[in-house]
Amino acid sequence: MGQYAYVCSMERGVEKIRVLVANRPRLMREVVLATISDQPDIEVMGEITDDTDIGQVVEQSKPDFVIIALDHMDQRPALCDDLLARHPEMKILALAPERNSSVFFWSVMNIRSARVESSEAGILGALRGKTQLADAVASVRFQ
């Protein structure tokens, strides 16, 4: 499966995928919550309305995934670097509200990324590790 391994749980078959939702604007955050909250294999750890709290909440809740906002498609959010440096086992999904693409970030020695479709199938596929990352990695360039 691509170049990362899940710490979570679906592979162990018992635990749920733990997701922290921290994207903006509010409507998009609620849209994400509506998409994932009724999935039996996903546990929403909470939602964050202010990015400044995110480090602390991640520290406490230890999510498998954090969903954040992506303001520029060609620029990796600084938040992503900070979080993955401190929690290399975690994955980040960054959503651009006005686009049909989102970007999935994870860390294996350095930060990798892949583009994911902003749709229910795309988001759930990424959270469940079903995204075909090997082909997608080269398609995204970040500063």
Partner 1 sequence: MSDAAVAAVFLLAQNRLLREALAKILGKKTDIAVVGSCVFSSQALDEVTKVAPDVLVMDSFGGGSVELGFLHEVKSQVPELKIVLIGMDPSEQLFLQAVREGVLGYVLEDASALEVVSTVRSVANGEAICPPKLCATLFHYVARQKSSVPNFRVRLNLGLTNREQQLVLLIGRGLTNKEIASQLQLAEQTVRNHVHRMLRKVGAHDRFAVVEMCRMQGLPI
Q: How far is the CB of 129 from partner 1 (least distance, A)?
A: 19
* Residue 37, phi then psi, degrees to nearest 5: -70, -20
The distance of closest approach from Cβ of residue 31 to partner 1 in the complex, given in angstroms and rounded to an integer, is 4
C-beta closer to partner 1: residue 53 or 71: 71
The reply to whether 27 sits near partner 1 by the rule CB under 8 A is: yes
CB-based contacts of 118, cutoff 8 Å, min separation 6: 95, 96, 99, 100, 101, 102
- CB nearer to partner 1: pick between 98 and 138: 98
Interface residues with partner 1 (CB under 8 A)? 25-28, 30-32, 34-35, 95-100, 117-120, 122-123
